[in-house]
Structure 1
Amino acid sequence: MRGRFAAVRRWYGEHRRVVRRTLLAMAVGAVLLSGGTVASVAWIRSGADGHIYSEAGVPDAPVALVLGTKVGADGTPSPFLAARLEIAQRLFDGGKVRAILVSGDNMNTDYNEPDGMLRWLVDRGVPAQKVVLDYAGFDTYDSCARAKRIFGVKRATVVTQSFHLPRAVALCRRLGIDANGVGDETAKRYAQRWRVSSTREYGACVKATLDLLSSRDPVHLGRRETGIDNALRDG
């Protein structure tokens, strides 16, 4: 054992400059990463300042943009997604929006968030022609970018959980949509998932910052679609 310690000391003596420089670089990297995260969160959230409302107080808008999240194998919305859809339904029933754009993941043929969202809304009385589906909302940036570029949305009320809302509203606004937002807090009863998802927002804000600064195209762009135009024209 004593021989091993002696060997380690000799190795450190020979390589101490490299070790110290490596440790210093790691420390500096950690500080920069932490600072970058803080700056990203602050910049993203500043984009939503003054544009987050209660359900009762949110200004009218032509479109509610409901951001997708997990559905079951049969397409049944998870409690988090159902809570978002409930807000959108009430906004529609109350005349605060005239169409609902549901944007979610349909990357694989056996997983389909938008269809599940449509069924949920139609089952509760929202006319099918007032619900427009975006099958390529693979993340929040893509949903916001496609709402603007593919569906021609100019003004919208974004609906998601409250921990996600500042990033979602800020992305929409920085991508050219006059967006306000309403956040759900009823899903807080699922405390562990809420806590984990809230923590992930820090990293998500870094990604959102990089997406905006790079002005990347959505994963799938495609041609202009007229679903929102038709839904609004029909009254």
Structure 2
Amino acid sequence: MKQQELHRTVTGTLYIWTKQFIVLMVFLCLCSFAVSEYVSRMGSKYIVGPDDVPKADVILILGAYVLPDGSLSDALGNRLNAGYELYEKGKSDKIIVSGDHGQDNYDEVNAMKKFLTDRNVSAENVFMDHAGFTTYESLYRARDIFKVKKVIIITQQYHLMRAAFIARELGLEAYGVRSDYYYPHPLTRWDQVREILARNKAFFMTQVIKAEPTFLGEVIPISGDGRATNDK
């Protein structure tokens, strides 16, 4: 009899804990979706078409994966094509390519710069941000290292809303132009899930943590010569 009562007690306790755990998970999921929607809605206010975007201090092209042979991923090529078109439209005469160059054997930014200089963009007009490891860091460094005040951000639509939100929270007069405006880029289910999590991170980074990027370093104003960022 006592064993049966003990079994019922343990079973009841496990049931209560499981129920509480499920309620907690549902609550956290709802909060996550709410934060994601808020970031998306706020960032969307500053997304405009390539012809309507106002002129700015700089066009900021956010990095993406570079293949082992140094060639560009489709996502990165998509962004660079869109950024180059805005440069040709005269929306800014300066470009920042910001990405991951934290290791000698992986380099997004020199590949990005080469794409632009191969299309006759002057090297002095292309600034490389070698420590743009995240969207938050790219925008923080644009403000503090390159002394940007007004920026046009280039990336895919799903990413752009978060980028515009972060930029505005950092005090930049930022406008986003989607790189898949002319060059469609498929959005996978993983992209969608990852972006929900990334928007939550962006919210807490800008509203709560407000951390400095991994590296800051020497100021290189956008008004100067982009060749000052060369490492090769």
Same fold per superposition (TM over 0.5): yes
Larger % of helix: which? 1
Aligned-partner Cα distance in 1 for 2:203–2:84: 31
Unaligned runs of 5+ in 1: 1-8
Residue of structure 2 in register with 1:116 after alignment: 111
Q: Please identify, of 154-163 and 209-218, the stretch whose mean Cα deviation from structure 2 is larger.
A: 209-218
* Displacement after TM superposition at 1:35 (Å): 2.0
Unaligned runs of 5+ in 2: 227-232
- Paired residue type of 1:204: A
Aligned-partner Cα distance in 1 for 2:189–2:55: 31
1:45-194 counterparts in 2 under 5 A?
A: 45-185=40-180, 188=184, 191=186, 194=188
Aligned-partner Cα distance in 1 for 2:201–2:45: 23
Q: Please identify, of 15-24 and 98-107, the stretch whose mean Cα deviation from structure 2 is larger.
A: 15-24
- 1:92, 1:98 within 8 Å by CA — same for their partners in 2? yes
* Displacement after TM superposition at 1:119 (Å): 0.5
Cα deviation, 1:106-127, whole Å, max 9, x if unaligned, reads 1211001001100011011111
- Paired residue type of 1:208: A
Residue of structure 1 in register with 2:201 after alignment: 207
What secondary structure, in the 3-state scheme, does the structure 2 residue paired with 1:230 have? coil
* Displacement after TM superposition at 1:187 (Å): 5.5
Aligned-partner Cα distance in 1 for 2:196–2:35: 8
- Paired residue type of 2:190: V
Aligned identity (percent) is 32
RMSD across aligned positions (CA):
2.1
- 2:83, 2:179 within 8 Å by CA — same for their partners in 1? no
Q: Please identify, of 123-132 and 30-39, the stretch whose mean Cα deviation from structure 2 is larger.
A: 30-39
Aligned-partner Cα distance in 2 for 1:161–1:146: 20
TM-score (ref. length: structure 2): 0.88
TM-score (ref. length: structure 1): 0.87
- 2:44, 2:164 within 8 Å by CA — same for their partners in 1? no
Residue of structure 1 in register with 2:23 after alignment: 28
Residue of structure 1 in register with 2:224 after alignment: 230
Residue of structure 2 in register with 1:14 after alignment: 9
Cα deviation, 1:163-221, whole Å, max 9, x if unaligned, reads 111001111111111000011225645x4x64432331101111111211210111222
Q: 1:219 to 1:32 in 2, by over 3 A?
A: farther
